[in-house]
Amino acid sequence: MTRLPVQRTRFQGLISRLGGRTVGLVRRSWRSASLAALALLLGFFAGQNLTSLLLIASPGGRPAVVLALLLVMETLVRLRSRLVQAEPSLTWVIVDNLRIGATYSIVLEAFKLGT
């Protein structure tokens, strides 16, 4: 029995893109995968420590720290979207993972504080 051809729907496109990314992750070298994972963890660690230190040391308090971190994160996103058109290099993957880890730790800290 032959399979019918798959229609080209948005869902099918999403599945094929996700499959391509998964295969790309498996095909990457262990060096790039471990550097990406380390960047994610270091971003989380840096985000936790920076928020703790900056909230105590900054004269503007919590609003000033949050605004500064928001501006840094937004600048990184804008730079990446303008400079990288195709597949990002390992440097941009590391920068993205640092940013994602720091953002996650800040959001987690906000949930812990209940604010």
Query: Considering the chain, what percentage of its residues have pLDDT values greater than 90?
Result: 9
**Dist. CA 104–CA 100, nearest whole Å:** 6
Query: What was the pLDDT predicted at 53?
Result: 81
Q: Domain residues of the chain, as ranges?
A: 29-113
Query: Quick check: 15 pLDDT over 80?
Result: yes
Average pLDDT, the chain: 81
Kindly report the pTM of this predicted structure: 0.68
The H-assigned helical ranges of 58-115 are 62-83, 90-113
Nearest to 97 by CA among 28, 47, 23, 27: 47
Q: Which two tokens stand for residue 47?
A: 């985000």
Residue with tokens 């290099």: 89
Higher pLDDT, 66 or 90: 90
pLDDT tens-digit series, residues 38-72 = 999 999 998 888 877 877 777 766 677 777 777 88
Burial of residue 39 (CB within 10 Å: 0-12, 13-18, 19+) is: buried
- Count helices and strands (H / E) in the chain: 4, 0
